[in-house]
Amino acid sequence: MLLNVLQSLLIYMVMATFVLALVVLICNTVRKNHPKSSDGKETTLMTTMTPSSLLEVKVTFPIKVIFGDITVAKKYDPSELAQIPKTRLGEGTLGTLFKVVLGCGSVTTIRKIREGMIGSAGALETWVSFFGGMKGDGLLLPIYFSFWYGGEAFILYEYFILGSLEELLHGSEGIQFTPLSWGIRRRIALYAAQAVALIHSRATQNAEPLTCGVIKASNILIRVDFSACLSSYETPYLVPPEMIVKRNPGRVAPELKGHHRKTFTQKSDVYSFGILLLELITGQRASMTNLRAYVNERKVKGGLNCVYDKKMGDVVNENVAGMVEIAWICLSCKPQGRPSMVDVVRMIQSL
């Protein structure tokens, strides 16, 4: 037995010596390729050495598809999606969102689920599969594909070149900056209301009515024709409600505040939608301003003229006043005093 151990040790020593010699050879080769200046000293230049000139190590982690058929899995290679360079788009409650340009040239959006956010792998798989199979009629951002890679979970979505409503409302002004007109804002509000109403018309596998948790500008994605769809509607089923409330203090209904147990309802969604309407009207960030108090104060000082976003121009009319009234109904302090989202859709359509 001692002989076997000595033989194994000798083999390892020979292999280690070989690898060390190979590394030294590569380093000497690279050093010789360094050009020298007129005084004989080596100069440091950026080279275009390809990975093939060095030892390459390719690591493959276990892959498990959470949602997506075989055709989609062939189109989107999980190992490529997980390792390809990404452009960070933003940080959400569920995890970081990235823009990815695939080798074929197509562009997509991928979310890397934040580590430690999900209670169990089984719950994540159940809810992602549930929402991935739900038809959204163009009003909900579809889940294209989802998978595990090396113990990390990813969700793939469509990429929107215009980004979110938050970017369009509060983005930096520049040469190509175009303020959203009132007509466009009203159009976006209607699409958003229809999306929330669609969620409210569906139920879980246990026949419980679905909710959105928090409805905010960063979750309203805008197409080039300024139609809109709702994203992150799966979040309240994957993240503890206390975490969502803590991250969105200016957008949640009063009954969700305090130290009692947090439970989202369709009526709390309506309140959150009312805040979104005020954000569209005023152009103020709900995360930085108490919009309810802001509008009240402005109306007292100078009427509706002091409420609406001046980037819209001189557009104060009955439609804007009507939208403020709709928002106010949604923001009733008592849940039973708030309308259903179906009624909200009808009120916006009547403007």
Q: Residue by residue, what is the 3-state secondary structure of 98-133? A: EEEECCCCCEEEEEEECCCCCCCHHHHHHHHHHHHC
Percent of the chain with pLDDT over 90: 50
- Whether 270 is covered by a domain: the verdict is yes
Domain-embedded: residue 43: no
Nearest residue to 323 (alpha-carbon basis) of 192, 226, 215, 233? 192
Question: pLDDT tens across 62-120, in order?
Answer: 788 899 876 776 777 788 888 888 899 888 888 899 999 987 788 999 999 987 666 67
Mean pLDDT for the stretch of residues 314-330:
86
Tell whether 73 and 205 lie within a shared domain: no
Q: How many CB atoms lie within 10 A of CB 308?
A: 25
Mean pLDDT of 23-48: 43
Instruction: Provide the sign of the torsion angle of the four alpha carbons 265, 268, 273, 274, taken in this order.
Output: positive
Average pLDDT of span 54-69: 69
The mean predicted confidence, pLDDT, of the chain is 82
Write down the pLDDT at residue 32.
43
Which among 64, 67, 216 has a CA at the least distance from the CA of 155? 67
My answer on whether 196 and 314 are in the same domain is yes
Which pLDDT score, from 0 to 100, does residue 226 have? 95
Together in a domain, 170 and 153 = no
Reply yes or no on whether the pLDDT at 163 is more than 50.
Answer: yes
Distances in Å between the Cα of 78 and the Cα atoms of 5, 59, 94 are 42, 13, 19
Residue 350 confidence class, pLDDT cut points 50, 70, 90: very high
Looking at the structure, tell me whether residues 212 and 97 fall in a common domain: no
Number of domains in the chain: 2
Looking at per-residue pLDDT, the higher value among 172 and 135 belongs to: 135
For residues 97 and 110, what is the distance between their CA atoms, to the nearest angstrom? 6
pLDDT of residue 77: 79
Whether 134 and 119 have beta carbons less than 8 Å apart is answered as no
pLDDT at 273: 98
Domain boundaries, position 127: 63-157
- The verdict on 215 and 301 lying in the same domain is yes
Q: Tens digits of per-residue pLDDT, 242-254? A: 999 999 989 999 9
Residue 48 lies in a domain: no
Cβ(236)–Cβ(181) below 8 Å: no
64 vs 221, which has greater pLDDT?
221
Q: Are residue 276 and residue 306 in the same domain, yes or no? A: yes
In a domain, 82, yes or no: yes
- The Cα–Cα gap between 232 and 210 comes to 13
Count of CA atoms in the C-beta half-sphere (13 A) of 44: 0
Cα 44 to Cα 182: distance, rounded to the nearest angstrom:
58
Instruction: Tell me how far apart the alpha carbons of residues 201 and 184 are, in angstroms, rounded to a whole number.
Output: 26
Label residues 100-120 b or e (16+ Cβ within 10 Å = b). Answer: beeeeeeebbbbbbbeebbee
Asked whether residue 337 is assigned to any structural domain, the reply reads: yes
Q: State the CATH number of the domain containing residue 256.
A: 1.10.510.10
| The pLDDT of residue 338 | 98
Q: Concatenated DSSP letters for 173-195?
A: P-TT--PPPHHHHHHHHHHHHHH
Q: Are residues 134 and 236 in the same domain?
A: no
Whether 42 is covered by a domain: the verdict is: no
Residue 11 pLDDT level (bands cut at 50, 70, 90): low
> What per-residue confidence (pLDDT) applies to 82?
83
Q: Sorting pLDDT into bands at 50, 70 and 90, what band is 315?
A: low
Rounded to 5°, the CA angle 244-330-276 comes to 55
Look up residue 190 and give its two tokens: 């209607």
**pLDDT tens-digit series, residues 278-308:** 999 999 999 888 999 999 999 888 888 889 8
Nearest alpha carbon to residue 220 among 275, 175, 174? 275
Which pLDDT value is given to residue 34?
43
What 8-state DSSP symbol labels residue 339?
P
pLDDT above 80: residue 184: yes
Residues 239 and 93 placed together within one structural domain of the fold = no
Determine contact, residues 276/217, Cβ cutoff 8 Å.
yes
Contact predicate 327/284, CB 8 Å: no
Q: Provide mean pLDDT across the span 125-151.
A: 92
Is 34 inside a domain boundary? Answer: no
Q: Directed axis angle between helix 182-200 and helix 341-349, to 10°?
A: 150
Same domain (yes/no): 204, 304: yes
DSSP state of 321: H
Residue 124 has pLDDT above 80, yes or no: yes
Q: What is the CATH number of the domain that holds 89?
A: 3.30.200.20
